[in-house]
Amino acid sequence: MDVSELKVTADLANIELGEEEFASLGREVEKMLDYFSKMMETDGMSLPSGPGRRAANRTRPDAVSGDADPDSLLENAPELEDRFIVIPNVL
């Protein structure tokens, strides 16, 4: 994989890397991509499942489940103010 392409990808993923890391990671990403292209060679469409190959659509009825516990989820927030999650300012 081209280093410049890797740099764009790292930037999009919000990952900061040094030049050395780019060099070593480049080789590793290359391996992954090779593996993916190998997988693409297989005939996925003949498998019984996969997007668009189900007998019926899987949807759920439009109803409120009411089983969530929002307060316990908020406990994991780093900082709260009047139920708002507070984070450093980002533009």
Partner 1 sequence: MYQSFIGLEIHIQLLTESKVFCGCTNRFGDEPNTNVCPVCMGYPGVLPALNAQAIRLSYVVARALNCEMSPQAVFERKNYFYPDMPKNYQISQFSSPLGRNGWIDVAYNGKTRRVRIHEIHLEEDAGKMIHAGDMSLLDYNRAGTPLLEIVTEPDMEFGEEAEILLQDFRRTIRYLGVCDGNMEEGSMRCDANVSVNLEGRGLGRKVEIKNLNSSRFVKMALNYEIGRQKEILDKGGKVVQETRLWNENRDVTETMRTKESAHDYRYFPEPDLPAFVPDAEFLAQVDRGLVELPAARRERFVKDYGVNEAAADFLINEKGTADFYEEVAALGADPGAAASWLQFDVRKILNRENRELAGSPLTAARLAQLLSLLSGGRIHGKIAKQVLEAVFAEDKDPGLIIREKGWEQMDDAAELAALVDRALAANAKAAAAVKAGDAKPLGFLVGQIMKATQGRAQPQMVQELLKEKLGI
Q: How far is CA 88 from the centre of its chain?
A: 23
Q: Could you give the CA distance from residue 12 to residue 2 in angstroms, rounded to a whole number?
A: 16
Cβ proximity of 74 and 83 under 8 Å:
yes
Q: Which is nearer to partner 1, 46 or 89 (CB)?
A: 89
Binding residues (CB under 8 A) for partner 1: these are 8-9, 11-14, 51-52, 54, 57-68, 70, 73-74, 81-90
Choice between 19 and 68, CB closer to partner 1: 68
User: Cβ 39 to partner 1, closest distance in Å?
Assistant: 14
Q: Please, what is the angle between helix 3-12 and helix 19-41, to 10°?
A: 90
**Least Å from the CB of residue 10 to partner 1:** 11
Q: From the CB of 45, what's the least distance to partner 1, in Å?
A: 13
